[in-house]
Amino acid sequence: MTDPTKDPRILRDPDAATPSACPVQPLPAGSGGRPGYLVTGYAEAREALGDARLSKDTAAFFAGEESRRRLHPAVAHTMLASDPPRHTRLRKLVTKAFTTGAVARLRPLITRVTDTLLDRWPTDEPFDLVAGLAKPLPVIVICELLGVPPADRPDVQRWSAELFAAGDPEVIDAASHAVAEYMTGLVAAKRRDPGGSLLDRLISARDGDDRLSEEELVSLAVLLLVAGHETTTNALGNAVLALLRHPAGLDRLQRNPDEIPAALDELLRFDSAVSTATFRFTTEAVTLGGIKIPVGAPVLVALGAANRDPARFPAPDRLDLNRDAAAHLAFGHGIHRCVGAPLANAEMEIALRAVLTRCPGIRLAVPADRLEWRRTRLVRGLASLPVLA
């Protein structure tokens, strides 16, 4: 059987066709020997993401199995890898600290960082928008948010990239320990000398008598760092490229930058930065899209493919800024829907506005088919995006 996760429609090649006619299909057995299922239809993806019988508790799922992996527990047992009631409790506490108000207060910082990065943009030679803007912006913002001092940011950024790269397991395990130990030290420093960062708010966040334990705090800090970083980088690069390849849309947003917030949903739908959601596992037999999935099966939901399902989004391979794309699945769906979506939207809106208004003649510096993509099962994004202003 060929592996559908290697299918360009799942990896979301920009020119590949819409998802296959079969919205739920079997996957070949992975290294654990369990055959899984891949969900590419929009309705089926939404159903799977909202189904409590699909568990995210990886520790429970693999309990009793021998593993050579040595991931730090704070990285292995994040909120994203947990089910209710643990998930409900953690999510409630993080939501209290991570309010819309907190995101609104970050807007001046996001604007300042964006402007500083764009000031370095040469006017007469190609500029890599990924290295020069899409990569540094989210990491600077998340480090500011968590209160990571500037001198520590290169290390934090490297560990986060290693965790996300899905490369050598030993490198990933080592990065998990390095970043968790760093965050443990940062939490201790904040306890000694409190400030106004998100981490400080997480330390003092309470729900009645409930508050976060040391390990939960470290785990949440690492999750926010990793989840809020590569995703936004890829989403921003993909959105700029989509506009460069659709001059009418580019022209429209350059003339009317106030339409950028409304255009974000369609840009996120069109080229989703997260190709597949994290694995879920069936805790009982489930029928999805007419396919019977047995108990104990891994289920992979292809968000990028679901966002191109013609049954939900007619002519899905066309970027259509008039489309109501608010129901896209780029941020997931259900109880694990991205907690950082308001921040991601603010970063994308501010960065796109700055790029489009400051660079009226922006265009690709290389042919689109020569662009290099970073291909992992999880994320879809550009390795670089050379543009001319």
Q: Binding residues for ligand HEM, per CB under 6 A?
A: 79-80, 91, 142, 223-224, 227-228, 231-232, 235, 273-274, 277-278, 303, 330-332, 336, 338-340, 343-344
- CB-nearer residue toward ligand HEM: 298 or 389: 298
Rounded to whole angstroms, how far apart are CA atoms 366 and 275?
25
The nearest distance, CB 122 to ligand HEM, in angstroms, is: 27
Rounded to whole angstroms, how far apart are CA atoms 204 and 185?
17
Rounded to whole angstroms, how far apart are CA atoms 55 and 281?
5
Question: Residues 95, 198: contact at Cβ < 8 Å?
Answer: no
- CB-nearer residue toward ligand HEM: 203 or 330: 330
Q: Give per-residue burial for 253-285: e unless 16+ CB within 10 Å, then b.
A: bbeebeebebbbbbbbbbbbbbbbbbbbbbbee
The nearest distance, CB 365 to ligand HEM, in angstroms, is: 24
DSSP track, 206-256: EETTEE--HHHHHHHHHHHHHHTTHHHHHHHHHHHHHHHT-HHHHHHHHH-
- CB-nearer residue toward ligand HEM: 113 or 389: 113
- CB-nearer residue toward ligand HEM: 90 or 359: 90
The nearest distance, CB 39 to ligand HEM, in angstroms, is: 12
- CB-nearer residue toward ligand HEM: 26 or 342: 342
- CB-nearer residue toward ligand HEM: 250 or 351: 351
Q: Which of 72, 79, 117, 112 is nearest to 98 (CA)?
A: 79
Residue nearest to ligand HEM (CB): 340
The nearest distance, CB 338 to ligand HEM, in angstroms, is: 3
The nearest distance, CB 97 to ligand HEM, in angstroms, is: 11
The nearest distance, CB 239 to ligand HEM, in angstroms, is: 9
